[in-house]
Amino acid sequence: MTVSKKQILALLKEYGGAVLFSTLLRDFGGRHLKRELKNLLEEMADNGEVTRLRGNSYVLPGQVKTVRGRISVHRDGYGFVAPEGGGEDIFIPAKFMKNALHGDLVEATANQSRMGGSKLDGRIVNVVERATTRIVGRFEESRRGAVVISDDQRLNLAVVIPPKGRGRAEDGQQVVAELTAYPIGGRPAEGRIVEILGWPDDPEVEVQSVIRRFDLPHEFGPDVLAEADAVPEAVTKGELKGRVDLRGMATVTIDGETARDFDDAVALRREGGNFRLWVSIADVSAYVTPGSPLDREAYLRGTSVYFPDRCIPMLPERLSNGICSLNPQVERLTMTAEMLFDATGRMVESAFYPSVIKSTARLTYTIVKQIIVDNDPEVTDKHRPLAPMLGEMKELALILMAMRKKRGSIDFDLPEPEIIIGLTGRTEGIVRAERNLAHQLIEEFMLAANEAVAAFVTSREIPFLYRIHENPDPAKLHDFQEFIYGFGYEFALVEDRVNPSELQRLLAQAEGRPEERMLNYALLRCMKQARYAAENLGHFGLASPCYCHFTSPIRRYPDLVVHRILKAILALDEKKEDKRRGKQLAIATEHLGETAEHTSKRERVAMEAERDVVEMKKVQYMQQHLGEEFDGYITGVTGFGFFVELEELFVEGLVHISTLDDDQYTFQEKQHSLVGSRLRRVFRIGDKARVTVAAVTPATRRIEFTLAAHTPSAPPKVTAGAGPAEEYPRIPIKGKRVSGPKRGGGVEPKGAAPGTGKGRGGRKRR
């Protein structure tokens, strides 16, 4: 007797629910059909005709309750489904992925995890919509045929290229392949080559590969360029009507040395014990009208993307570096937030209006630091007319910083790498990006303006585009609470919520200690990602009741939307009877939910691409230093080794346990350490370590270290904490790492880090 698909479907329909394999085997006549039945069921499951459930049972697709969502896949093969309606992510083991690829819209079962708690796990039932249509990777030829190996480790995909689809690609080249068939069952994906990028050791090819892989729009269409070319190069007299004239005021821009577009300028005046601050932002909305080619392209991009050696701008250079850039000694149209602060930093009044300015000087962070911190007499004398105002700006900035800290705002202030690129495009060095009081001064002024605009619009009860940062997930907070307990730290949770001031206190307590940076990273992993929303949910990281992005319309589309809404409100206030102005507000506020979702997504894509290029450049740099020794500290410990981040280079690599040949090491999960069974040598999070660069794999961005012979041995004890070692709890962290966060290219993925995002070297996103 043989078994047919038709018989299986009929039997499952008759049962009306999940049926164990053993039951199906019995109903079809016994063990002699086991292999045949098993193979047929697996084929049907791969084709979506039946659904395989936990416990080796099967059900018809329509008879099982599923959750729909996007899947994020780890390079080790497992994934997490984020439900469309929100809620706990569903863990999908690699064996239950059912040919789903990273980013696909899927339907999955959701069951209570065997790990307990609120965790869910399941399996993919159906792939609803494919997210990947093209891949970027390496073309490989052999006697067995040709394939393209995807650069994206999350796809874990080898695409078969038939002879007719190869074009002129040569073995080893970087290419873009279009998928013509997706993997199903045991059948691989197929495709055809649509673009040959070049050889992978060419720095330009490496960057172009990232641009293609993240599908970053990087060329402006002719209609967009034509509209940009039609924009005047200078402000016309007619454009000044209805604007407040600030051209006679001493106004300065403060940016990095390499900045080319200047979208914010500041001015300040003391009024008795008060401070009057003007923050003037480039009025991009004066040149980019809703629905125009420029506007559609800016919306599509959502944000500018910054790589170490270039910027992919949101707007054409004629605008971003031209008429919209607040260059010195030229007239520019702006939107101004004028704010009056008392001596304690409390804002006592504010006003907003279209304006025209003429920037007095283009200052850099270095120049401002030399004046307000170093008191450099030569630099101060050179900028003598501006020095008193800069000193008063410093005074106000320190007051605002203190007030923000008092209310509970969290400032991770984690160091960031700056990649030094040589003339050949290769990485020549990695240094700590400077962040001094001059940077903080501008950050505080931009934060104040963003909050003031958000508060103003919120008070009018008008639809708005907010920048929100929701409260951390309670489960992650509990995990973090257990994790830091093992290091002697604690914080209060009240009804699964935490006051941001508690976390601020925790970071202050860890300052200067070996585990400081690791605790910062671990806390950042607990934070939800800051995003845009049409609903005001507050900003947890800033401890702010309402917040928006107003200060960077040259490089962020949400800021442009905020400008349009603000201008429409101001126009209505001026002439309430004007129906045209009411229509202007209606246009500015339509589709805010859709805009929020789209721009949040584009921001995440930009951050991932930026991080990937930085990691690529780090690997490039370490290739030049194979065999050399560096000092670092342990950032994470697992059963297969520990991760070390090099001091000042921000490069992380793995010391595999197999290279620790002086002893037999045991992973002590609760103590976050590896302990030698004979010598009792201990490796734990926060310990210093001297390592040798042993291997570098550019394709996977992986770096491997070995322990240098003269690395000091740690004593066989755990950091003093809240109890004996055996009571130290663990923190379950998704992925291969059990404790300690993987830096993986920066702290930006959670979006809670303070900062204003003022170009390269200062792009923290709140």
Task: Give CA–CA dist 268/393, Å, rounded.
Answer: 7
Instruction: Assess contact for 608 and 214: CB atoms under 8 A.
Output: yes
Give the residue-averaged pLDDT of 316-333.
Answer: 97
State the average pLDDT over residues 584-611.
92
Mean pLDDT of the chain: 88
pLDDT above 90: percentage of residues in the chain: 63
Cβ atoms of 691 and 705 within 8 Å: the answer is: yes
Which one is predicted more confidently, 742 or 147? Answer: 147
Which pLDDT band, with edges at 50, 70 and 90, does 117 fall under? low
CB–CB of 66/31 below 8 Å?
no
User: What's the pTM?
Assistant: 0.85
Considering only 117-121, 197-201, 408-412, which range has the smallest mean pLDDT? 117-121
Distance CA 213, CA 102 (A): 13
Q: What is the pLDDT of residue 306?
A: 95
Structure tokens at 361: 């000087």
What pLDDT score does 495 carry?
Answer: 79
Structure confidence by residue, pLDDT tens digits, 20-77: 888 888 888 777 888 889 889 888 887 878 888 777 888 888 777 788 999 999 988 9
Instruction: Give all domains of the chain, ordered by start, each with its CATH number.
Output: 5-61 (1.10.10.10), 65-129 (2.40.50.140), 134-200 (2.40.50.640), 222-470+532-613 (no CATH), 625-730 (2.40.50.140)
722 - beta bridge partners? none
State the pLDDT at residue 751: 36
Q: pLDDT tens-digit profile of 448-462?
A: 999 999 999 999 999
Contact present, 466 and 473 (Cβ < 8 Å): no
The answer to whether 555 and 313 have CB atoms below 8 angstroms apart is yes
Residue 744 pLDDT exceeds 50: no
User: pLDDT value at position 715?
Assistant: 46
Banded pLDDT at 156 (limits 50, 70, 90): confident
**Residue 133: pLDDT above 90?**
yes
Is residue 723 scored above 60 in pLDDT? Answer: no
CA 400 to centroid of chain Cα atoms: 27
pLDDT of 747 > 70? The answer is: no
pLDDT at 312 over 80: yes
CB-hemisphere CA count at 13 Å for 367? 19
Taking a C-beta distance cutoff of 8 angstroms, is the pair 452, 551 a contact?
no
Residue found under tokens 């304690």: 344
Average pLDDT value for residue range 699-703: 89
For residue 165, what pLDDT band results from cuts at 50, 70 and 90? very high
**Quick one: pLDDT at residue 749?**
29
| pLDDT category of residue 150 using cuts at 50, 70 and 90 | very high
The tokens of 141 are what?
Answer: 């030829």
d(CA 542, CA 686): 28
Nearest C-alpha neighbor of 274 from the set 451, 396, 388, 390: 396
Query: Where does the pLDDT of residue 578 fall: very low under 50, low under 70, confident under 90, or very high at 90 and above?
Result: low
Does 326 have pLDDT greater than 60?
Answer: yes
Out of 141-145, 325-329, 705-709, the most confident range is 325-329
Side chain identity at residue 627, one-letter code: G
Rounded distance, CA 488 to CA 248, Å?
57
Please report, for the chain, how many H helices and E strands are present, in that order: 17, 36
Q: Mean pLDDT lowest for which of 388-402, 431-445, 477-491?
A: 477-491
According to the model, what pLDDT value does residue 367 have?
98
Percent of the chain's residues with pLDDT above 70:
90
Tokens of 229: 């070319």
Look at 116 and 179; give whichever has higher pLDDT: 179
pLDDT at 200 over 70: yes
What confidence tier does 729 reach under pLDDT thresholds 50, 70, 90?
very low
In the chain, what is the straight-line distance between the N-terminal and C-terminal CA atoms, in Å? 66
Lowest mean pLDDT among 85-99, 171-185, 359-373, 628-642: 85-99
Give yes or no for residue 752 having a pLDDT over 70: no
Q: What is the mean pLDDT of residues 430-447?
A: 95
How are beta strands 347-358 and 244-245 bridged, if at all?
Answer: parallel
